[in-house]
């Protein structure tokens, strides 16, 4: 949710700065509205394309990461304790 809100706020800021040039009126002009619509549409399409590419790449990245971490570097299990286990001492 946080990432979505960050993207939405950034898009709003970019399009507003690009399209709104006169703050003397309460309502947007037709030209400003049109500019904002096309700006937002472009950014949404770009975001969809990026997310589509990301979703396509993630499985390969996860498989590679699993393969790297899946091969044990040494013996598995807890490390051997240097101290003898508690119990009766052997003669």
- Asked if residue 83 belongs to a domain, the reply is no
Q: Examine the pLDDT at 44 and tell me if it is beyond 80.
A: yes
- Asked if residue 17 belongs to a domain, the reply is yes
- Asked if residue 90 belongs to a domain, the reply is no
Count: domains in the chain: 1
- Asked if residue 5 belongs to a domain, the reply is yes
- Asked if residue 88 belongs to a domain, the reply is no
Q: Which of 58-62, 70-74, 82-86 has the lowest mean pLDDT?
A: 82-86
pLDDT of 71 reads 55
- Asked if residue 2 belongs to a domain, the reply is yes
Q: Examine the pLDDT at 83 and tell me if it is beyond 90.
A: no
**CATH number assigned to the domain comprising residue 53:** 1.10.287.810
Mention every residue, 6+ apart, whose C-beta is less than 8 A from residue 20.
Answer: 28, 32, 36
Chain mean pLDDT for the chain: 80
Instruction: Please report which residue ranges of 1-91 form alpha helices under DSSP H.
Output: 2-19, 30-70
The one-character DSSP state at 76 is: -
Return d(Cα 12, Cα 20) in angstroms, integer: 11
Range of the domain at 58: 1-68
- Asked if residue 31 belongs to a domain, the reply is yes
């Amino acid at each position: 949710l946080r990432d979505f809100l960050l993207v939405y706020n950034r898009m709003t800021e970019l399009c507003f700065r690009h399209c709104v040039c006169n703050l003397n009126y309460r309502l947007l002009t037709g030209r400003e509205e049109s500019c904002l619509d096309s700006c937002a549409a472009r950014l949404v399409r770009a975001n969809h394309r990026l997310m589509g590419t990301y979703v396509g790449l993630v499985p390969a990245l996860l498989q590679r990461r699993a393969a790297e971490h899946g091969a044990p570097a040494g013996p598995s299990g807890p490390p051997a304790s240097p101290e003898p286990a508690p119990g009766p001492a052997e003669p």
